[in-house]
Every structure is written in structure tokens, then in C-alpha cells.
Amino acid sequence: MRETRRLCTLKTHLLLAALLYWACAVFLYPVPAAAVEGFVEGAYGYRTQRDVTKKDSFNLLEARAQLKGVYEPPVFEALSPEADLKAELIADGYDDRLILKVREAALAFTPLDFIDVKLGRQILTWGTGDYIFINDLFPKDYVSFFIGRDDEYLKVPSDALRVSLFTEAVNLDMVLIPVMEPDISVIGKRLSFFDGLSGQVLGEDAARVFIEPREIAENMELAFRAYRTIGRMEAALYLFRGFYKEPRGILDGAKSEFFYPRLHVIGMSLRGPVLGGIGNFELGYYDSREDRGGGNPMIENPSIKYLAGYTQDLGSDASIGFQYEVEQMLHHGAYRDGLAPGASVRDEFRHLLTMRFTKLYSGQTVVTSLFVFFSPSDMDAYLRPGVSYKVTDSWKVTAGANIILGRDEFTDFGTFRRNDNLYMRVRYSF
Amino acid sequence: MMKKIFLPMLLLLIIPSLSYALTADEIVERSNLAYYYAGDDGRADLNMRITDRRGRVRIREMTLLRKDIKDGGRQKFYVYFKKPSDVSRMVFMVWKQVKGDDDRWLYIPAIDLVKRIASSDKRSSFAGGVFTYEDVSGRRTSDDTHELLDDEQYNGKAVYVVKNSPKDTGEVEFSYYIARIDKKTFLPVKGEYYDKSGKLYRTISVDKTGLVDGIPTVLQATAENLSRGMKTTIEFKDVAYNVGIKERIFRERYLRRPPKEVKR
């Protein structure tokens, strides 16, 4: 439904323009240096629990071919133009379909010595968290995350214009996203979830409708970052004007219609050497523009998110990292007053702890890792153990698990607690 | 730089007995400058060949940029990975510090991530081979005490034999290492690392040297881990010094947009 509606959007036009540019550049000025690399990969994810999703025994079965290339057209060389293209062909055995996805199609250039511009489809990332994103409000794919695809797929590309300014005092990034790109959220297809509206776990029979913001100038998203190094510490300030990336507003509960409420975020971060490791601190004030007073139970309450993290090298190719995040709902009283009697109540504070342990073996060809999310306030957890082995420079085998635990069904991880999986991927890179 | 090398060479030729006037500390200091601080900056393409116990070979190709902030002191490194393809365009950046841990960053282009890496362990493997981070960016001369054991002929070269013992034995896996240093160029010729039980377990050999822009340069080196049966050879190609690398390249901007110096 969403796919069809999008066919002739501005986003598609922008992408087509970028692709067209790329094609022209390559065909008009062919240079053998436009090296093409990529991989083919097979992936399978086995469900360890019965559920109500479409295919109960697995939630990942696909073959993927990725091609990427960088091309430096020999024109306007003073501007150092560079075209990036990364595209994938996916044979998806879950939905029995063939998908062509363009992950990157962008042109980068340097119009002035202190300015970089990147235009087109690109992956955007900033902030200091590890799997926790406060000021990085660029889209994520949580379905990929929970079913065991490579980390690369947690980030969804944005069709954007990025302008970066570099000065002695401060560096500035300005990102303009003409059409808001939401997260890829769990909608019951590969992963089931607890639906607060109906009070039950929904899978393939879920019929949630997510209404995206209209494609008008007023709905353009803007993201700013100002950053500099102070001594050995990296400091950054962030501003964001756009929308929640998850559908945190209910438009019509009876029809299961959700929307993406307007969101402004102001935040900051620090990162640098602390006590023989790397420490980071980040916070963001989430100004939910359509429910600033917090009294509307249908729309996300304003909040402040705090994050502190620390990573240490343990020697012998092992490292450990911890993070502590607190999310504070700002108008909890108003939120509670607005709720219908008997409805489940979210806490004012959500506490989340994470731990990442990584150890490499056998000349760094074997990587073992465990990432744990645990919320003592929600009493839920998400465990991501994994191991990968680079058999040769070309062949890599990865196996892992996604284990989700929760006391209740309505918490952030608890809602997915029937979706444990074991996955395996085999990749050949060239 | 040339003066630093020629002066001792002349002295060595004219008054051989004076060569003993160099203390172990001075030899190690000069060797450190000759090997890790040649020129004010430098670039090289590195071809790294890792062979494991079973003879399986892995190849790493990267371009290294270096800028000295101060001779014998702070330096900045930029390592741009080209091969294998799953790490291509990844960048590893180091700000080598005089005191405390170095600052290290890794840029992962697939997710546009600038990651800061905790780096207290300098003895860990560089890119999966037998060379350690310290082998690549240099070990602080002040971290060891140095003792001049001998001078001898080694592979047709007059060398100093220096024993280096770590001041903090808890920080490293070796109990000491013997370095053979070319008397003429002050480049290292051979390093032999002994473990805590006094057994030789790791060697580094300089296989090939040459003059680049008039500066004696290591063109190929091999590290072997004898206990693990693993071998790594690094070949330095297209070496150039004083190419005018600017300090600003060693910043987040150029992790995303590799500078022209890595592309030639």
C-alpha cells in the first residue's frame, strides 16, 4: 500500500535524477578506475517460537547481491567530484519477490576549499551512542536489526543534501531532507508485536496504516550539527526539525491509523579519552510539537534522553563497552490524566543499560561479540550474541541469535518477545 | 634530516673508535627518527601479506599518510584501506601522543560511522597480521631501557646490537627485545622478541631498503610469530617524503572524503 502510493513521489524523482547523473557521468567519461566491488550473500533466520506471523518457522530467507562503485568524473576537477553508487538485488524468500534497492546514489564535491557538498541518496550517521540514537534522527531499519541482517542495514539511506562547512573554530553540517523517510518499523510481517489498541499480539493479520507527512516544503526535514575538538575531547551540538521516525501518533485507533508527529530536537554530545578508555555523553531534548503540554495520550509526550557510555580495550583483542540511557517523559502527570481508565501506564523514567563485549581470535579472522540491552525499569532485555569467521579474504560466515525477553508485553522490547531467532549468513565478497 | 645521518657517518669513517661514543639511548633515538620520522611527512602504499600456520594467505592493501608534528614526538597517521573489498574505503586514523594513550578513529563508510576506538593495548595486531600497532607507528623510546650489547657484522652490514627492556613489564607481552640497527642508516635490520620465559617467539626482519628522495627507507619487512607459525610481509610502494601533507587532513572531514594524497 505504502509502496504503491510512493511510486511517483518527489523522492523517486530525486533518486532518478541522481541515477541519471551517475549513468551520464560513467558513459560520457568512461574511466577504468571506476572500480566495482560487492558481494553475494545468502541469509537464513530460523524462528525458535511459534507465532502469528506469515511464515512461522523463519523470518529471514534471502539471497542478496550488492554492487558498489566510486567514480571520479574527469570534469571540474578543481571541485573533486565523486559519484558513489551502491545497489542491491535481493531475492526475498519470505515474501517471494525480487527487489532492487539503491542504497547510495550521490554526488560529492568541494565547491570551495572549506565546503563539502553531498547530494543524493546517502547514509547519514552522527552522534556517540552504540545502537542507541539520540541526536541521529536519520532513518533506521529495526526489522533488519531484529532478524539478523548485517549491521549495515540498520541504517536506511536518506535522499538528502548535505552541506558541510569547515573552519578553525567550528565545523558545521547541514542536512536537508526534502521528503521525510521514516524508520522501517515492525508491522507484523516478519516480526509480531503487542498491539496496545487491541490488547493482543498481532502478526500477519495486523493492518496498521502509517500516514506519512505530505510532501510539501513545510514538511522538509532539517538537521544541523556543529562540532569541534577541544583538546582531545570531541564536542557537538545538534538541532533537528522534522518528525518522529516512528509513528508515535494515533490518528484513528479504530482504523489502526498512525502518523508521524512533528518533532524538534536540540542536543549535545561529548566524546573523548576517560580513565584509559573512551567515554561519551549525549543528551537530547525531544520537543514533541503536536503535544507540547503532554496531555494528549494519542501523541508522544515531550522527553529528554540522556546517555553515558564507556568503552575499554581489555588487551588481547578484547574490548568491553557499557552504556546507560535514561529517557524522561516530561509531562507525566498530564499524560496520566489524559489516559483512559484501565489503560497501561508508561513510567516517567525509562532506564536502559547496554553492554557490548567483543573478542577476536585467530589473527582477527574470528569475531565473537555479545550485545545486551537491559531495561531495569521495563524489566525487558534484548540479547545479540554473534560470531563471524572470515574463512578467506572473500568468504565470510556469520551466525548469531536475537533473543528478546520481557516481563510485560507492552514494553519496548517486551512487545517483540515472541520473535527469537537464530540466523546464519554466508557472504562472498569481490 | 640529511645532516643527522651524514654527520655520524663521517665520524664513523674518520674516527672509528668514536662510534662507541654513541650511547645505547642515542642509537635508539636516532633509529626511531630514521625509521618513523623520515622527512616531515610521508606517504606509502602498503601491501600486506599474512600467511598463517596452514599456509593460507590473506592480502591487505592500504595507503598510509603520515605527518610529523614534532620530530621524535607527536605524529598523525591516516590509513586508507583498499583491499580486501569488504574493508575498502575504511579509514583508520591515529594521533600518536607523547604521553598517555594515542587517539584512534575508525571510519566505516557503509554506515557513515566515525568510531572512536579505545586504544590502551598497543601490542595488539595491526590489521590481523603479526605486526603490532607499535611496530607500525613506533614504540616510545622512553618506554624501554636500552643497553648496547655489541656491534657486529650482520648480513653484510655493520650493526649495533641493542637490548631493549620494558620499564613496565605488565604492559607488554615480551620480556625484552634485541634490535640490530644499521650503523650507516640507523634503520632497524632485525628485531628479536623474547617472551617471559626467555624464549624467542617473534622476529621482525627488514628484507629490503633503498633510498627514497635521498632518505634511507625500509621497502619491505617481515614479521614472524614463531610460536603461532604466522608470518606477515609488508611491502612499501610508491614511498614519498615531504609531499606537503597538511595537518588538517587528519580530521573527520577527510575520513568521509579521502584526500587526493591517497588516490594517486
- Residue at B71 is within a domain: yes
> In chain A, which residues have their Cβ closer than 8 Å to the Cβ of B111?
123, 125, 151-152, 154-155
Which residues form the domain of B104?
23-262
- Residue at B90 is within a domain: yes
SS3 B21: helix
- Residue at B11 is within a domain: no
> In chain A, which residues have their Cβ closer than 8 Å to the Cβ of B113?
125
Number of domains in chain A: 1
DSSP state letter for A213? P
- Asked if B83 lies within 8 A of A316 by C-beta distance, the reply is no
Max Cα-Cα span within chain A: 68
pLDDT of residue B3: 54
Nearest residue of chain B to residue A173 (CA atoms): B253
Cell reading at B224: 614472524
Do A177 and A220 contact (CB within 8 A), yes or no? yes
Our CA dihedral for A242, A247, A253, A257, rounded to 10 degrees, sits at 90
- Residue at B195 is within a domain: yes
Nearest residue of chain A to residue B50 (CA atoms): A363
**Cβ partners under 8 Å of residue A243, min gap 6:** A180, A182, A213, A219, A221, A260, A261, A262, A263
Alpha helices, DSSP H only, in A29-161? 142-147
Q: Which helix (H) or strand (E) holds A425?
A: strand A421-429
Give the minimum alpha-carbon distance from A213 to chain B in angstroms, rounded to a whole number.
Answer: 26
> In chain B, which residues have their Cβ closer than 8 Å to the Cβ of A313?
117-121, 124
- For residue B47, the Cα-to-chain-centroid distance in whole angstroms is 14
Q: What angle do CA B247, B248, B249 make, to 5 degrees?
A: 90
Nearest residue of chain A to residue B110 (CA atoms): A152
Do A201 and A192 contact (CB within 8 A), yes or no? yes
- Residue at B1 is within a domain: no
- Model pLDDT for residues A23-54, shown as the tens digit of each residue: 666 665 555 455 789 999 999 999 998 887 77
In this prediction, residue A3 has a pLDDT band, given cuts at 50, 70 and 90, of: very low
* Mean pLDDT for all residues in chain A: 91
| CATH number reported for the structural domain that contains residue A151 in this entry | 2.40.160.10
Pairing of strands A36-47, A58-71: antiparallel
* Mean pLDDT for all residues in chain B: 90
Q: Which helix (H) or strand (E) holds A3?
A: helix A2-5
- Asked if B84 lies within 8 A of A227 by C-beta distance, the reply is no
Interface A-B, measured as beta-carbon pairs within 8 A, has a size of 100
* pTM for this prediction: 0.90
- Asked if A116 lies within 8 A of B110 by C-beta distance, the reply is no
- Model pLDDT for residues A83-128, shown as the tens digit of each residue: 999 999 999 999 999 999 999 999 999 999 999 999 999 999 999 9
Nearest residue of chain A to residue B101 (CA atoms): A276
- From CA B92, how far away is CA B117, in angstroms rounded? 10
pLDDT of residue A52: 79
Nearest residue of chain B to residue A171 (CA atoms): B253
Average the pLDDT over B152-171 and give the result: 92
- From CA B21, how far away is CA B211, in angstroms rounded? 27
Give the minimum alpha-carbon distance from A146 to chain B in angstroms, rounded to a whole number.
Answer: 17
> In chain A, which residues have their Cβ closer than 8 Å to the Cβ of B116?
234, 271-272, 278, 280
Number of domains in chain B: 1
- Asked if A313 lies within 8 A of B89 by C-beta distance, the reply is no
- Model pLDDT for residues A221-267, shown as the tens digit of each residue: 999 999 999 989 999 999 999 999 999 999 998 889 999 999 999 99
Say what percent of chain A tops pLDDT 70. 92
**A contact test, residue of B93, B111, B250 with most A CBs within 10 A:** B111
SS3 B38: coil
pLDDT of residue B20: 54
pLDDT of residue A5: 46
Nearest residue of chain A to residue B122 (CA atoms): A315
- Asked if A317 lies within 8 A of B125 by C-beta distance, the reply is yes
pLDDT of residue B111: 95
- From CA A187, how far away is CA B63, in angstroms rounded? 45
> In chain A, which residues have their Cβ closer than 8 Å to the Cβ of B128?
363-365
Cis peptide upstream of residue A81 (ω within 30 degrees of 0)? no
Average the pLDDT over A291-307 and give the result: 94
pLDDT of residue A1: 33
Range in A171-185, A234-248, A279-293, B250-264 the model is least confident about? B250-264
In this prediction, residue B25 has a pLDDT band, given cuts at 50, 70 and 90, of: very high
Does residue A288 register a pLDDT over 50?
A: yes
Chain B residues with at least one Cβ partner in A under 8 Å: 50, 52, 56, 58-59, 83-86, 88-89, 95, 100-101, 103, 110-114, 116-121, 123-125, 127-129, 230, 248, 251-253, 256-257, 260, 263
**Cβ partners under 8 Å of residue B194, min gap 6:** B174, B175, B176, B177, B178, B200, B201
pLDDT of residue A4: 39
- Model pLDDT for residues B103-127, shown as the tens digit of each residue: 999 999 999 999 999 877 788 899 8
Does residue B192 register a pLDDT over 90?
A: yes
pLDDT of residue B259: 92
Cell reading at B85: 573489498
- From CA A153, how far away is CA A166, in angstroms rounded? 30
What single-letter amino acid sits at A356?
Answer: R
Comparing CA positions, the residue from B77, B80, B66 lying closest to residue B119 is B77
Which residues form the domain of A177?
2-429
- From CA A84, how far away is CA A312, in angstroms rounded? 34
- Model pLDDT for residues B198-248, shown as the tens digit of each residue: 999 999 999 999 999 999 999 999 999 999 999 999 999 999 999 999 999
- Residue at B227 is within a domain: yes
pLDDT of residue B99: 85
Cell reading at B29: 633515538
pLDDT of residue B8: 60
| CATH number reported for the structural domain that contains residue B95 in this entry | 2.50.20.10
Range in A202-216, A232-246, A267-281, A363-377 the model is least confident about? A202-216
Pairing of strands B57-68, B75-83: antiparallel
Average the pLDDT over B24-53 and give the result: 93
Do A401 and A383 contact (CB within 8 A), yes or no? yes
